[in-house]
Structure 1
Amino acid sequence: MKVVKFGGSSLADGSHFQKVIHIIQSDVTRQVVVVSAPGKRFAEDTKVTDLLITYAQQVIAQKPTETIVQKISQRYKSIGTFFNLPARPIDKIIKKLCSLPDEYYPSHAYLMAAFKAHGERLNAMLLTSVLNHLGIKARFVDPFEAGIIVTDNPADATVMPETYQNLAQLHFKDEKLIFPGFFGFTPNGQIATFSRGGSDITGAIVARGLKAELYENFTDVDAIYAVDPHIVPHPEAIKKMTYREMRELSYAGFSVFHDEAIIPAIEGQVPIKVKNTNHPDLPGTLIVPETHFTPHHTITGVASSERFAALYLHRYLLNKEVGFTLKLLQILYKYDVSYEHMPSGIDDLTIIFDKNQLNRQTIHEMCHDIQNTLHPDQLDWIDDYAIIMVVGEGMRSKIGTIENIIRPLAENGIGVHMINQGASRISIMLGTKQADAKRAVKEIYTHFFNTVSTERKILYAD
């Protein structure tokens, strides 16, 4: 049995629905389907989730909602009309949509979560009705029925362990099970949504809970590429990679998955395949456990991200002072700030942060406390910072990889501010100026993927 997930761009309108239905029918083992809310139909269009956010905001502000409800309703109605769906299932969807303001919510945050979640919930109901109308036996499975229990965080929920026990009790025969992605229910029965990559998370949860043989994630790209196609045109497609490689590359900017979205599948050791809804016959990218994986190339991929900033401290004999790092971490804890990396030397220490958790006031106050508590000789905040991740299982057994990464950068005048190799030995992290990041990625990719053509042919062998 396979669990298949379709993103918003794959379910934007009736013609996209038709492609999804064809994919579901083409493989009888595709028995469990997880759906997102309808996405954009064209560049200037609005996602249904964004329309629902507006709906929620208007309810909170006690403003008229008829116009926005009509816009949302029309998205679902147009898909129903495409398939000549009878009025009854559409009326049920519209009634559910209109009744949202009448439900009880403990706070505005829970109201917002519930409204947003209904993009997926109503879309799953609609797909179920369309499938049954076409003679394909299908059943809508609400997360409440399935027992998808999440923490009490309305917009940033995480799955609770009992979810997997609940999913193991779910009985089904030959019908297709249609799950809405993006949300679960708190122990108190309130809807709470996952943060980023919500439907991907649901797909991974369901795949683990139902012990699927494969989790297929359909999106709008043919595969995961060894480098961002916006940086290097027509890059190599990765046919097979490990969970660890995917996590490292997602963290550094690969946009197919949010780096935390596939953790449930990893924990359940469920292989993941990324495929394109528009080209479902292409092989896509298979993501597998590290066990028994044989790399055929040193480097699998290279990615960069500019969402980072760094704090540089210099003080003589820093390494001799007991408790120095503890004091530093206590200051970070005071401001509820986590750090990403902390490379250090005998007199120097650099702390790398995700800028998304910081604002100017926090930075100013935190640096002030560090200066007064630790008395560094030099303290610099570096906003102009980018991280480059070079990732590959083959790096563990290859001598001279760092030299081969640095050489093309040096030859092209690209400075490196930091080098850090992870304990797993499958990734090397570089720090550069933001202006140099894309050029550095391109040079590293070109060095490893374009210099030896015969090696490139071996790279993606199954």
Structure 2
Amino acid sequence: MKVVKFGGSSLASGESVSNAINILTSEKERQVMVVSAPGKRFSKDIKVTDLLIQYAEDFLHQNPTNDIVSKIFNRYQEIGNYFGIESAQLEIIHDILLNLPKQNYPNNDYLLAAFKAHGERLNARLIALILNHMGIKSRYLDPIEAGLIVTGEPNDALVNPESYINLDHLKIFDDEKIVFPGFFGITPSGHIATFSRGGSDITGAILARGMHCDLYENFTDVSGIFSVNPAIIPSPKSIKKMTYREMRELSYAGFSVFHDEALIPAIQGDIPINVKNTNAPADPGTMILPNRNFSADRIITGVASQKNFSALYLHKYLLNKEAGFTLKILQILDKYHVPYEHMPSGIDDITIIFNRKFLTDQLIDLICNEIQALINPDQLEWIDDYAIIMVVGEGMKKHSGISATILSALQAQNITPQMINQGASQISIMIGTKNEEVKLAVKTIYQEFF
């Protein structure tokens, strides 16, 4: 059995839904369809999820909501009409939208999560209706019924291990298709909580593991995963196969085709993932595979970069002989609930790299002030101009001198990395550069190896 997930761009219109249904029904093994909310139909269009967020905000601010409800419903009605679904059958979608503000929510975060989740929830209901209208035996399966239990934050949920037990007990008949909404689960108290944005990938991986599937197919709008961002290198090479950990490393630094958190259930269940193109389903796409018995085709699999980082540089003589220095820093970060990404160090200095999304200017000042007062470094410098490049490849383990090759190529372009660090797994090299140098650095590395 296969789980097949379709992204929002693959379900944005009646025509695209028809294409997705053709893919679903082209193989008997494709029994479980995980759906996203309808995405953009054209470049200036608005995703249904964003319309639902606006709906929630309008309600919370006591603004009129009739217009936004009509906009959201029209998106589903347009898709239903494409397949000849009668208006009376679509009224349930309109009723559910109207009733969203009337439900009881523990707080506004739960309200926002519930509103957002209905992009997927209503689309799954609609597509199950369409399939049955077409004579394809189908069943809408809600996360409540399936027992997909989540914990954590209302808008950044984590799957509960109990979910896998519940999914294992589900009965799926050989002659039916299951349509399942992505992006959300149900808390132990019965409220909706969503995964992080793009979390339908996570739902698909959870189902693939819980249902012991042979393959998880993730359909999107590109033919697999490219070895570098096409915005930096036009027509880059596509990746035919890669390992889970290669994908994790590259996702961390900006590969956005597949949600990096979705890899965890697949890894735990040892489920291969195939990222494919909805508009070219015959293309092989990219296979994401377990690490064992993996044979790399190239030294480098991919190069990724991300600009949203900052760094705190500290210098203090005899730092290596001062016990508890790092602990004091970590306690300050813990006090303000700020995670750090990396902490490369030398004999007398240390650099702490942060993801900027966890910081505000006020937090930066508070952290720097406390570190200065408690540790009294000889030099303290905050660096906002920081980018991270990840060079990743299972083939790196069998080849020496990769770091030297990269540094030599960068030097030829007058780029001096602010930091370089090779992971213990020997499949990745992290490079810190200035923001204005990152695009040229990525081009240089790509051209050196590809």
Amino acid at match of 1:238: I
Query: What residue in structure 1 maps to residue 425 of structure 2?
Result: 424
Query: What residue in structure 2 maps to residue 66 of structure 1?
Result: 66
Q: Cα distance, 1:255 vs. partner? A: 1.2
Cα deviation, 1:101-121, whole Å, max 9, x if unaligned, reads 221111111111111110100
Structural mapping, 1:301-380, within 5 Å:
301-380=302-381
Deviates more, 1:362-371 or 1:256-265: 256-265
Q: Cα distance, 1:196 vs. partner? A: 2.7
Provide the C-alpha distance between the structure 1 equivalents of 2:113 and 2:233, rounded to a whole number of angstroms.
38
Query: What residue in structure 2 maps to residue 298 of structure 1?
Result: 299
Structural mapping, 1:73-222, within 5 Å:
73-173=73-173, 174-222=175-223
Q: Cα distance, 1:23 vs. partner? A: 0.4
Whether the aligned pair in 2 keeps the contact of 1:182 and 1:198 (CA below 8 Å) is: yes
Provide the C-alpha distance between the structure 2 equivalents of 1:237 and 1:423, rounded to a whole number of angstroms.
26
Q: Cα distance, 1:20 vs. partner? A: 0.2
Provide the C-alpha distance between the structure 2 equivalents of 1:185 and 1:109, rounded to a whole number of angstroms.
14
Provide the C-alpha distance between the structure 1 equivalents of 2:278 and 2:252, rounded to a whole number of angstroms.
24
Cα deviation, 1:368-401, whole Å, max 9, x if unaligned, reads 1101111111110000011110000011111111
Provide the C-alpha distance between the structure 2 equivalents of 1:278 and 1:392, rounded to a whole number of angstroms.
28
Q: Cα distance, 1:262 vs. partner? A: 2.0
Task: Tell whether 2:10 aligns with 1:24.
Answer: no
Whether the aligned pair in 2 keeps the contact of 1:251 and 1:258 (CA below 8 Å) is: no
Number of equivalences = 449
Provide the C-alpha distance between the structure 2 equivalents of 1:259 and 1:375, rounded to a whole number of angstroms.
38
Amino acid at match of 2:86: P
Whether the aligned pair in 2 keeps the contact of 1:152 and 1:187 (CA below 8 Å) is: no
Provide the C-alpha distance between the structure 1 equivalents of 2:329 and 2:101, rounded to a whole number of angstroms.
47
TM-score by length of 1: 0.96
Whether the aligned pair in 1 keeps the contact of 2:202 and 2:259 (CA below 8 Å) is: no
Provide the C-alpha distance between the structure 2 equivalents of 1:104 and 1:322, rounded to a whole number of angstroms.
52
Provide the C-alpha distance between the structure 1 equivalents of 2:318 and 2:198, rounded to a whole number of angstroms.
44
Whether the aligned pair in 2 keeps the contact of 1:197 and 1:261 (CA below 8 Å) is: no
Provide the C-alpha distance between the structure 1 equivalents of 2:106 and 2:323, rounded to a whole number of angstroms.
48
Whether the aligned pair in 1 keeps the contact of 2:199 and 2:259 (CA below 8 Å) is: no
Whether the aligned pair in 2 keeps the contact of 1:227 and 1:302 (CA below 8 Å) is: yes
Amino acid at match of 1:142: D
Whether the aligned pair in 2 keeps the contact of 1:36 and 1:181 (CA below 8 Å) is: yes
Provide the C-alpha distance between the structure 2 equivalents of 1:401 and 1:194, rounded to a whole number of angstroms.
37
- Tell me the secondary structure at the aligned position of residue 216 of structure 2: strand
Provide the C-alpha distance between the structure 2 equivalents of 1:60 and 1:389, rounded to a whole number of angstroms.
41
Cα deviation, 1:290-349, whole Å, max 9, x if unaligned, reads 011011221101111001111111111101111111111111111111111001010111
Amino acid at match of 1:96: I
Query: What residue in structure 1 maps to residue 280 of structure 2?
Result: 279
Runs of 4+ with >6 A deviation: none
Whether the aligned pair in 1 keeps the contact of 2:3 and 2:32 (CA below 8 Å) is: yes
Provide the C-alpha distance between the structure 1 equivalents of 2:287 and 2:152, rounded to a whole number of angstroms.
34
Deviates more, 1:121-130 or 1:250-259: 250-259
Provide the C-alpha distance between the structure 2 equivalents of 1:262 and 1:5, rounded to a whole number of angstroms.
14
Q: Cα distance, 1:47 vs. partner? A: 0.8
Q: Cα distance, 1:54 vs. partner? A: 1.4
Superposed CA RMSD in Å reads 0.9
Provide the C-alpha distance between the structure 1 equivalents of 2:150 and 2:140, rounded to a whole number of angstroms.
20
Provide the C-alpha distance between the structure 2 equivalents of 1:410 and 1:355, rounded to a whole number of angstroms.
28
Amino acid at match of 1:107: N
Q: Cα distance, 1:152 vs. partner? A: 4.7
Query: What residue in structure 2 maps to residue 42 of structure 1?
Result: 42
Cα deviation, 1:336-368, whole Å, max 9, x if unaligned, reads 111110010101111100000001010011001
Q: Cα distance, 1:404 vs. partner? A: 1.1
Provide the C-alpha distance between the structure 2 equivalents of 1:6 and 1:391, rounded to a whole number of angstroms.
27
- Tell me the secondary structure at the aligned position of residue 420 of structure 1: strand
Identity fraction in percent: 62
Unaligned runs of 5+ in 2: none
Provide the C-alpha distance between the structure 2 equivalents of 1:65 and 1:121, rounded to a whole number of angstroms.
20
Q: Cα distance, 1:261 vs. partner? A: 2.5
Whether the aligned pair in 2 keeps the contact of 1:89 and 1:126 (CA below 8 Å) is: no
TM-score by length of 2: 0.98
- Tell me the secondary structure at the aligned position of residue 159 of structure 2: coil
Provide the C-alpha distance between the structure 2 equivalents of 1:152 and 1:352, rounded to a whole number of angstroms.
25
Deviates more, 1:257-266 or 1:227-236: 257-266
- Tell me the secondary structure at the aligned position of residue 385 of structure 2: coil
Cα deviation, 1:243-268, whole Å, max 9, x if unaligned, reads 00000000011111232232111111
Cα deviation, 1:104-159, whole Å, max 9, x if unaligned, reads 11111111111111010000000000001111111000000000000152111111
Provide the C-alpha distance between the structure 1 equivalents of 2:46 and 2:182, rounded to a whole number of angstroms.
19
Query: What residue in structure 2 maps to residue 7 of structure 1?
Result: 7
Cα deviation, 1:44-64, whole Å, max 9, x if unaligned, reads 111111111111112222222
Amino acid at match of 1:438: K
Deviates more, 1:246-255 or 1:82-91: 82-91
